[in-house]
Every structure is written in C-alpha cells, then in structure tokens.
Amino acid sequence: MRLKLKTAPSTEPITLDQAKLHLRVDTGDDNALISMLITTAREMAEKETKRAFITQIWQMTLDAAESEIEIPKPPLQGVESITVIDEAGNESVVDASHYDVDKAQNSYGRVRLKSGSTWPTHRGFASFIVEFKAGYGDAAADVPEALKQAVLQLIAHFYENRESVEIPAGVKILLWAFKILRI
C-alpha cells in the first residue's frame, strides 16, 4: 500500500494569532517561523495519531484488493472514487453502488463489496486506487480541543528548542487518546 496526499488541508487547526498568544510573542518578527511550526506541529501530531485533523484528500494505491479494504487516516469522511487499471493500462472507475463505506471515527474506515459484486479485473501491480477524504472537518472548530492543545504545545516546544525533533511526553499524553492502535 502506498499513500499520497493529493489535497492538503486548506487551513490549520491553530491560527498564527493563537500560536503567538500561546508563545507570548508580541511582534511580527517570527511570523514566518511560527507559521511553519504550526504546519510542522500538525503534521507530526497527525503522524503520531495516524489521523487527519483538517479535511484532506488522499490517494491509496494497492496491488490487490480483497472484498474488504481498510482506509487509513481516520476520521474517514468518504470515498471519492475507486479506480482500477487493467492489463492494457486502461483506467475505469468502480460504480459506488457496488460497495459500502464504513466511516469509523475511532478506527480505520472500511470499504466492502456488496453481496454479489466483484472488483473489476486489474493488472495486480499499483492498479487499485482508492481516493478518499479524511479529517474532522473543514474548519479548525471541527478539530477536538485536546488535539489543538497538543499542536500548541508542540509549536511551543519547537519554538524554544529549534533543533528538536522529539515529541515531548506531555504532548504524547494528549495525543494518546486519539492514537490509532493496530492489533
């Protein structure tokens, strides 16, 4: 499985003003740095939790597909399309009436073939492509407060420790409740 971000979030869960207030920064001298840290902190928190915070579109490419497919990056908002590539290199989109989507909030989402349906024949190598939309919503207000607090704390940590790449223990504790665990 390969994942590729197709459409990044259009906004961040934390604004520049919120970050500056948290950091107690009154000037605009570090605005560019703080803006970069906001994005970095969100990305690291998303990676740690295995979630998407603000709406984003991803493409998952598989070599093969079973009758049920797990969709990473919860919460899943929906499957945009499923495309298959045949031996001749022709692409076809699977009609959504052939599968059901489970938009689980606290685990991976799932796509499952409906009874009596089959996936179209495909070449078996990077030929089954699921495009999906993930995230809590389009606005910062849609993101749980604990996740926003974790992002703020990460921003502060990186602002004060500019060479650090570690997520502090306190931030990990905030993220723990949202972390997707695989059994």
In a domain, 91, yes or no: yes
Closest CA to 74 of 182, 181, 180: 180
Whether 82 and 122 map to the same domain: the answer is yes
H/E run at residue 172 = helix 169-176
Per the domain annotation, does 181 fall within a domain? no
Q: Are residues 87 and 117 in the same domain?
A: yes
φ, ψ of residue 56 to 5 degrees: the values are: -150, 155
Residues 24 and 93 in one domain: no
Q: Note whether 104 and 70 are same-domain residues.
A: yes
Which pair of structure tokens corresponds to residue 115? 């009874």
Same domain? 76 vs 33? no
Q: Are residues 90 and 111 in the same domain?
A: yes
Averaged pLDDT for residues 50-70: 95
pLDDT (tens digit, 9 = 90+) per residue, 6-45? 999 999 999 999 999 999 999 999 999 999 999 999 999 9
Q: Is the pLDDT of residue 89 over 80?
A: yes
Q: Please tell me whether residues 13 and 67 are part of one structural domain.
A: no
In tens, the pLDDT along 107-165 reads 899 999 999 999 998 888 999 999 999 999 999 999 999 999 999 999 999 999 988 88
> Looking at the domain assignment, is residue 40 inside a domain?
yes
Domain boundary among 103, 118, 134: 134
- In this structure, are 39 and 82 located in the same domain? no
Length of the chain: 183
**Is 166 a member of any domain?**
yes
Q: Which residue has the tokens 């197709």?
A: 6
Q: Assess whether 92 and 152 both reside in one domain.
A: no
The two tokens of residue 165 are 């790449």
Q: What is the pTM of this model?
A: 0.91
Number of structural domains in the chain: 2
Query: Which of 20, 38, 74 has its CA nearest to residue 182?
Result: 74
- The verdict on 62 and 124 lying in the same domain is yes
Query: Domain containing 118: what range?
Result: 56-134
The reply to whether 75 and 44 lie within a common domain is no
Q: In this structure, what DSSP letter does residue 84 have?
A: E
Same domain for 39 and 71, yes or no, is: no
Q: Please say whether the beta carbons of 129 and 59 come within 8 A.
A: yes
Structure tokens at 106: 């606290």
**CA 51 centroid distance within chain:** 5
Contact at 8 Å (CB) between 47 and 59? Answer: no
Q: What is the CATH classification number for the domain harbouring 29?
A: 1.10.3230.30
